[in-house]
Structure 1
């Protein structure tokens, strides 16, 4: 039968058949979408039987060079690609063997001897030796590579004794020696990179030669980063063949992709999305223990070159701001209850946290804020609702929030209202994170001229408090410090805590530093937000929470930890047939739909066939 003849037969029933055929085409289209969605490789539709885990991130790493990148998720990737000297236990984040299997310190606390494992290799087949460890630490020190210098402070040199033993010498006892986030680098590669290039232009482009359980082999900026399993890893090959981090700019899109099985896990799930996922079968949500805080930071750079408002140098003004802010409401409204009110810069999950006593705490007290401003000479002279400085200038300041955080923007709007209520005008501006960094670290020629007043931002704590405490020292101005605040007594205590190895002796020093910073009010620590993440437990097993022994009955992070990456080493499909993308359920459903539609078409043809023939 020719097409022309067949077409003539079906014309009388064309609307019925078009509808049925359209349904088939639509179903086939959906099947194609499902296949594309479940494809575990962004470059190939055929996965070749590989097991691939896909995780969505709302923030993309900024740089794969450990001497340049500064975002927290960089450290996750670096740790997957490079071993640390000493690792972090998944139960309590205590020290555990990683590249080093054992260590000891001299009686004076100034010489550390590490025994290295003898079965570690670089991903190009070269052996990992003590020379690589010594090179890494000496490279940071000799080239003054500030990005990791906070971990090498007081280290004078490192020396390879033999292939499996390295000595690290310090000028004073070093409290955080076993808690450093220093990726051990291959000497045979990095020795060819100048210190200047390492701190500026060197990209460390994939494929990256490391010694960790995974290797970064591809980075499509704005789209994804692909890591393949190191089958020769000393700790055993990971149970997946690849991990792909997919980058999203829209939280709703990431949410839907997780529901559809396009991705297997999602980090930084939106608060509204998190509530939706709590009722989604096969998806486990995790309101992970907070190791971060969000703060209202103030520019305290006490230098004529500063472009910040000089009222921020007045501790009384900063204290008034702290009393004007309702932290409970920030947690409830801006963070929709997925946070607890904040206080100090070391988070409650840390053993070193200091919580201010009730009589010292900055509670929400706008009347007290007004009284402090009155007593300090900031009065509304002209009756327009905005106070003036003692010099007669209106109290108008700039407030910045980043466009990557709706919560921070909401907090900013709340703060504008609260400060207006006490007579201070804030001009809120939302900008990119990069734009905020540009004004915070602005230079006029070679002169540091920070050009901002206030901002709502965040920090992530490390297990050891040393890094966070170091931020507020003179050495970190133009470095990690954002507020540019310093205090002589604080700095003295910082040296002491850095040199106190015994945790019990160190604790009161760290807590006293928190008290000083808190009372001087360079920050208003707003909240400790929980890390919102979700992952597929219908198709995957072996997820690891870190720490599993989290305080107050909480759960540690599963997908996003700087310290421990066990979840990526041990997660695996529940069934041997699952190969990643976790949308294996989509295909059978769509096929069933197609079969049903085809059957409907056949039935229509059978029922209408006689009439159609007669009509011909």
Structure 2
């Protein structure tokens, strides 16, 4: 969390501008191809309208943001070489870097910032809807100055300006046609260190070095190849043999990660997720009987054996989830555990709740039947689905499992709402406004927008708490608001929190500077090099 909010002054602006001045280290060699495994294959490369996990693993190398971040979650200059916040927090002035070109050779200007934020991210990005809600205008007094005008102070906005989260787009390209069906959705053009070259569906995406990148001497690598390998054992073998060099976000099975960590040519790290704080959850369709009954949702929450899933599916890479806000926010005073569904008599409580809901067991031993749509991101999610199936059977809920491709799953969950129960992992990001509010606020029930309020649960009371927390600058008062919110959300159980996930990333040691930001693989690899 950042300590600043209302006023940072020119001193910080100068400091940020200076941070970029240090050039590449001479000992680092240019050349080489880094092969990254991403699982599953992304549905598209439109990171400006979709936050589907695999997309950003590719597009963060193509698009730059106004800022990037260090491991202390402090902003670092990128397309903005400096910024200054007014004393009242309602004006943020960004000084943009000069001589930056898009991959088609056209210049990057403040008009592109204005377009990207107001016309694309604020209207269409699942999290940008919240991030930029208070941005009422962006003034462009010249080609290299963008002045954000805010209705209210929004300090969290400065935590969401990376190339992964808020990509800057060329207005002359993406300003033409329907952004949701844009022809460049799968042929992206940005200002980043690597250019899109080709996408062979089911095989790989190729990105080549941007020789006119604005950071002199970078990138070092000639090429990035992002491979898609359906079979998990083949993915592991590719990393082990050196045919691929980096994989994260569960692309390598968790049991294999521990074996690979013993090899001298490989490194396993959990760094690079500090700005993400992923939580594994079940989303409940609260409009789907009998899941529209709070007692039934609570029963499901009690029935799930979280520790079993942590130990047997994710091989210890996590801890039980206690609510929508990660315990990583404890130092900032924003974490509070919700209802404890891990109690020793949880199964008995689940059965009692289901009996009280008027759902007795039938002759076959089951009370009712639902379909569980499994997150289509790999075999561990299938195993997690099987665990949920077995655990809910113990309390008389018959579960059928369904596993579809990413595009079908996204449409089913976030457009058609044609589901009862689904698994997911979601990002808290660097502030609850960015990563948590979207799942509960009534104005985030937006058919066709992914990773927002698919449960379609909200109340006037929780809406008010979210609105107040978004603008509260006093940390203690803000923490109290979130504590009340978590209590209400976990009691209602529109989402059921399984675990806080610690993703491991496997990196071949011949490649250096691969994980250099708290976004990890969502970084741009500009300074990565091969020894």
| Alignment TM-score, normalising by the size of structure 2 | 0.83
SS at match of 1:96: strand
Is it true that 1:476 corresponds to 2:444 in the alignment?
Answer: yes
* Distance in 2, Cα, partners of 1:152 & 1:530: 29
Question: Which of 413, 416, 420 in structure 1 is aligned with 2:393?
Answer: 420
| Structure (1 or 2) with the larger CA radius of gyration | 1
Question: Which of 283, 292, 295 in structure 1 is aligned with 2:278?
Answer: 292
Report the CA distance shift for 1:210/1:436 in structure 2 as closer, same or farther (over 3 A).
closer
Question: Which of 482, 491, 496 in structure 1 is aligned with 2:468?
Answer: 496
Q: Which residue is 1:373 aligned to? A: 354
SS at match of 1:312: coil
Is it true that 1:178 corresponds to 2:158 in the alignment?
Answer: yes
Deviations 1:365-413 (A, max 9, x none): 1112222233333333x554233xxxxxxx2222222454322222222
Question: Which of 381, 386, 406 in structure 2 is aligned with 1:408?
Answer: 381
Is it true that 1:434 corresponds to 2:418 in the alignment?
Answer: no
Question: Which of 249, 255, 274 in structure 2 is aligned with 1:272?
Answer: 255
* Distance in 2, Cα, partners of 1:127 & 1:146: 24
Q: Which residue is 1:571 aligned to? A: 528
Q: Which residue is 1:542 aligned to? A: 513
Report the CA distance shift for 1:255/1:73 in structure 2 as closer, same or farther (over 3 A).
same
Asked if 2 retains the 8 angstrom alpha-carbon contact of 1:68 and 1:200, the reply is no
Deviations 1:256-292 (A, max 9, x none): 1222221222232112321321222211122455721
Deviations 1:401-440 (A, max 9, x none): 2454322222222222322222332233333333333432
Question: Which of 83, 95, 98 in structure 2 is aligned with 1:115?
Answer: 95
Report the CA distance shift for 1:114/1:518 in structure 2 as closer, same or farther (over 3 A).
same
Give 1:330 shift: 1.1
Q: Which residue is 2:141 aligned to? A: 161
* Distance in 2, Cα, partners of 1:376 & 1:506: 36
Give 1:540 shift: 2.5
* Distance in 1, Cα, partners of 2:144 & 2:396: 65
* Distance in 1, Cα, partners of 2:324 & 2:418: 24
* Aligned ranges 1:230-379 → 2 under 5 Å: 230-236=210-216, 237-267=218-248, 268-288=251-271, 291-301=277-287, 308=288, 310-350=289-329, 351=332, 354-356=335-337, 360-363=340-343, 365-379=346-360
Q: Which residue is 2:420 aligned to? A: 453
Report the CA distance shift for 1:298/1:168 in structure 2 as closer, same or farther (over 3 A).
same
Q: Which residue is 1:390 aligned to? A: none
Report the CA distance shift for 1:272/1:66 in structure 2 as closer, same or farther (over 3 A).
closer
* Distance in 2, Cα, partners of 1:505 & 1:97: 31
Deviations 1:19-39 (A, max 9, x none): xxxxxxxxxxxxxxxxxxxxx
Give 1:442 shift: 5.5
Give 1:134 shift: 1.8
Report the CA distance shift for 1:211/1:429 in structure 2 as closer, same or farther (over 3 A).
closer
* Distance in 2, Cα, partners of 1:311 & 1:244: 47
Asked if 1 retains the 8 angstrom alpha-carbon contact of 2:335 and 2:479, the reply is no
* Distance in 2, Cα, partners of 1:355 & 1:135: 38
Structure 2 runs not aligned, ≥5 long? 1-29
Structure 1 runs not aligned, ≥5 long? 1-48, 302-307, 388-394, 444-449, 548-556, 575-616
Is it true that 1:130 corresponds to 2:110 in the alignment?
Answer: yes
Q: Which residue is 2:78 aligned to? A: 98
Deviations 1:170-195 (A, max 9, x none): 2222232212222112233333x13x
Give 1:334 shift: 1.9
Structure 1 segments of 4+ aligned residues over 6 angstroms from their partners: none
* Distance in 1, Cα, partners of 2:384 & 2:190: 41
SS at match of 2:94: strand
| Alignment TM-score, normalising by the size of structure 1 | 0.73
Asked if 1 retains the 8 angstrom alpha-carbon contact of 2:68 and 2:78, the reply is yes
Deviations 1:104-153 (A, max 9, x none): 233433222222222433333433222221222232379x3354433321
Q: Which residue is 2:9 aligned to? A: none
Asked if 1 retains the 8 angstrom alpha-carbon contact of 2:334 and 2:478, the reply is no
Q: Which residue is 1:530 aligned to? A: 502
Give 1:504 shift: 5.5
Report the count of equivalent residues: 483
Is it true that 1:466 corresponds to 2:450 in the alignment?
Answer: no
Asked if 2 retains the 8 angstrom alpha-carbon contact of 1:175 and 1:500, the reply is no
